[in-house]
Amino acid sequence: MKKLRLGVNIDHVATIRNARGSNYPDPTDAAKLAFGAGADGITAHLREDRRHILEKDVARIKSEVNLPLNLEMAATIEMRKIALKYSPNAICLVPENRLELTTEGGLDVINNYNFLRDYIAPLKDVGCRISIFLAADKEQIDAALDIGATTIELHTGMYCDFHYDKNFKEKEVEFEKLKQMAKYGVVRGLEVHAGHGLTLETVGPIAGIMDIEELNIGHSLISDSIFVGIDSAIRRMREKMEEGRHDLASLR
């Protein structure tokens, strides 16, 4: 059975810091605690509007934290310069819209094919693994593979929204799509990750999709940390992931 890795997204530690323009809480300290709690990686989204993580955080996490860094970013020239400066272990390309509350959909690789193929080439040259954040869509997965991505991250946001809206019929449809497309990605030779909106309540069935190798989780983990501390929040999430991975009943 493939091990399921947990990438802890520490963006919202920075959101709280930035709300008051203070130096605390420090996302790098959070990343160090995540290491202690058994995280397999740190994920951070450097947004164009810098609403959470800043470039100095990327620099410190890369140099001070003993975990691989997965840098989420929009495919802009500015972001590529920053990525080339810090060489994160992995880059996850996401669509970005300044007015959105969070990343709303997957990247449209088909309609940006030539641009993205040329965009990722220098990043691959310096050894960054390239992941593309995608909706569960076969043609987009094919396009991601064709431009040279090694990994896809499937967007679980809709699945989680349907769960909390109690729209269980649509939730089941979305789950099947995620499961089928995870399998398809693996058959085509890609590494498959998933993330967005996952919580203690929703993570089990997604963790039960055996083709998925990594989950990236942030908002709910940092929210739970307010009440139980980051160490417990991460350990509880990990337990739910393990349960989902091993308990076939959670697939339904």
> Residues in the site for ligand PXP, rule: CB under 6 A?
9, 11, 45, 72, 92, 94, 102-103, 133, 153, 195-198, 216-220
CA–CA separation, 167 vs 29, rounded Å? 38
Nearest distance from C-beta of residue 95 to ligand PXP, angstroms: 9
CA–CA separation, 146 vs 130, rounded Å? 12
Contact 92, 71 (CB under 8 A): yes
Nearest distance from C-beta of residue 197 to ligand PXP, angstroms: 5
Catalytic residue among 72, 153, 174, 191: 72
Catalytic residue among 45, 52, 163, 193: 45
Nearest distance from C-beta of residue 194 to ligand PXP, angstroms: 8
Nearest to ligand PXP of 32, 52 (CB atom): 52
Nearest to ligand PXP of 33, 135 (CB atom): 135
Nearest distance from C-beta of residue 9 to ligand PXP, angstroms: 5
Nearest to ligand PXP of 65, 221 (CB atom): 221
CA–CA separation, 162 vs 154, rounded Å? 16
Nearest distance from C-beta of residue 103 to ligand PXP, angstroms: 4
Token pair 């530690």 in the structure block, residue: 13
Catalytic residue among 174, 193, 196, 214: 196
Residue 45 annotated to the active site: yes
Nearest to ligand PXP of 9, 169 (CB atom): 9
Nearest to ligand PXP of 101, 248 (CB atom): 101
CB neighbours of residue 34 within 10 Å = 29
Nearest to ligand PXP of 29, 161 (CB atom): 161
Residue 219 annotated to the active site: no
Residue 196 annotated to the active site: yes
Contact 109, 134 (CB under 8 A): yes
Residues with catalytic annotation? 45, 72, 196
